[in-house]
Amino acid sequence: MAAIIDVQHVHKAFGGLKVINDCSIQVEQGSITGLIGPNGAGKSTLFNIIAGALPLDSGRVLLDGEEITNRPANELFHKGLLRTFQIAHEFSQMTALENLMMVPPAQAGETLFNAWFKPSLVGKEEAEVRRRALEVIDFIGLHHVRNELAGNLSGGQKKLLELGRTMMTDARVVLLDEIAAGVNRTLLGDLVTNIERLNREMGYTFLVIEHDMDMIARLCEPVIVLAQGSVMVEGSIEEIQNNPQVIEAYFGAAS
Ligand SMILES: Nc1ncnc2c1ncn2[C@@H]1O[C@H](COP(=O)(O)OP(=O)(O)OP(=O)(O)O)[C@@H](O)[C@H]1O
Ligand SMILES: [Mg+2]
């Protein structure tokens, strides 16, 4: 198996609280891998560690065979490893289109030298970024609200915008943290379709944290269950749903 993400024996504690405990997961290149588990299992923490937003205590993380342990998020971003956030963090005072145009990390206009001395280059690249942003906004079905302030978009539209932001760069692996939360069924269908298309047509690998089991069932293979900071079980959605340990972890308190 070609693992694009390889997490090896990671540990992480906050103060005395062990949150990630000897956790090892592999995400196969080209897969849409699901990451599920009870609240507080450590899913978002693991994402933060993989994406360089949080240092680990021990263990290793590899991206496509290259060690990226504790590398900063912006460096990983340039390597094509991106994460979205559990709470969408759009720039509310910019339009949806402008939000997309903000993403490319190496815009010529960002360096003072280019801005002052090469105005034609800046203009040309801006036009290119704008063209790409318009393509992306069509793809995610937000063309009709492209000039709306992002802060005025609905929760579901913000999630779509967040997904669109990952398309403005040459992403290889995208970590999605609960993008279905609070999204209505119709928009959720759009989101799922777009994730499938990005996977099939653009070769994106996804690691998806989700509580919505319908969405996991439709999208993800395999599914990894995290409980108390370690992998409890990994398999197809059917294997997961029929696993007594998983049923206990999810429904134990209720039954
Ligand atoms: N910065 C932090 N400082 C202290 N404790 C933290 C911090 N971040 C997370 N935790 C704790 O780590 C544990 C795991 O949190 P995490 O957010 O990773 O869970 P999760 O699996 O994403 O849960 P959910 O499904 O509710 O989003 C929780 O007990 C949480 O309180
Ligand atoms: Mg979380």
More confident call, 239 vs 106: 239
Q: Say if residue 125's pLDDT is above 90.
A: no
Say what the pLDDT of residue 233 is.
95
Which residue is closest in CA terms to ligand 1's atom 7?
Answer: 14
137-160 pLDDT tens trace: 988 889 999 999 999 998 888 888
pLDDT over 90 for what percent of the chain?
Answer: 53
Q: Tell the residue number behind the tokens 């040309």, with chain if given.
A: 124
Which of 24-38, 42-56, 184-198, 213-227 has the lowest average pLDDT? 184-198
User: Does residue 166's CB lie within 6 angstroms of at least one atom of ligand 1?
Assistant: no
Q: Say if residue 188's pLDDT is above 90.
A: no
Ligand nearest to the CA of 85: 2
**28, two tokens:** 């196969």
Which one, of 61, 99, 64, 60, lies nearest residue 79 by Cα?
Answer: 64
Q: Say if residue 163's pLDDT is above 60.
A: yes
Say what the pLDDT of residue 116 is.
52
User: Does residue 41's CB lie within 6 angstroms of at least one atom of ligand 1?
Assistant: yes
Say what the pLDDT of residue 148 is.
96
More confident call, 76 vs 250: 76
Q: Say if residue 217's pLDDT is above 90.
A: yes
Which residue is closest in CA terms to ligand 1's atom 12?
Answer: 19
Residues 6+ apart with CB under 8 A from 51: 73, 76, 81, 82, 83, 175
pTM assigned to the model: 0.86
CA atoms within 13 Å, Cβ hemisphere of 242: 5
User: Does residue 43's CB lie within 6 angstroms of at least one atom of ligand 1?
Assistant: yes
Which residue is closest in CA terms to ligand 1's atom 18?
Answer: 42
Say what the pLDDT of residue 250 is.
76
pLDDT grade for 88, boundaries at 50, 70 and 90: low
Name 10's bridge partners: 23
User: Does residue 34's CB lie within 6 angstroms of at least one atom of ligand 1?
Assistant: no
Domain architecture of the chain: domains with CATH: 3-251 (3.40.50.300)
